[in-house]
Structure 1
């Protein structure tokens, strides 16, 4: 029984030494003295829950700051405003039409490419065959294969832009889809 008492005394003394700096830390992070005081109280309860081995920790001060940061994270997560979306805004009619149109357009566009470029894209991108194996099959280096594949993809993109009315922007290979008329 004296061991538990010794550990509680150790934790209590340690707490009293570091309580003011912990409070300053929490106030600096929350900007609210009342909220910081509440978090400090919760931190004390967590420390008290670990009092039986608190002073055996390698660095109890670091543990307190880690626990304080975790409390701040929990507080932030619970305070975030959750915006409910109406069911009809979750799925718009635009996306399915664009995707189904592209599903039709891609095979047609592939057929419009020269046979060697179509084969490269189908085998590498659609069938996901290893590029080295495809290069070996063609009897060319991996670098030459990658160059041909890049050129084929560029031609596919150009053809899709024209035939499927796809627009690209700087951040994404596909930005927008104009509905085909």
Structure 2
């Protein structure tokens, strides 16, 4: 079974299109017979993706550190529910159990997760696809920053090429296929 790690916000954000995309992504992952790997929260976009996978009959693998159980409302009704001691362990377990990464809109935590897997890819530690789901242009400033880093000589063109950009869920699913 193919497993897709989804990084995203523990909040919904202001743009309702992000919530719609999170739910559509969850439904699409389940429809493909793939497993969702995510941060095990039941809030924000995280919760929306997981609930959508579950409603569509899909498999869910959630990983949450003990200190976030209350804040992110640890979703215990998942197919697999793993509690870790630290954020570092959480990120490692999520990534090691995934075949690809999709990044929905989110904040500092989402950026942290994205940059960690991008750095690992740059260092040759994995070959997994990394897809920014750029709903409504949310990631445009990040994409511009990555281009700037390359243009300024702080990374090779390959680093930018490691990140695929999808405008919507169907395009992301096409990239994953």
Q: Return the TM-score normalized by structure 1.
A: 0.21
After TM superposition, the score normalised by the length of structure 2 is 0.21
Structure with bigger gyration radius:
1
Which structure has greater strand proportion?
2
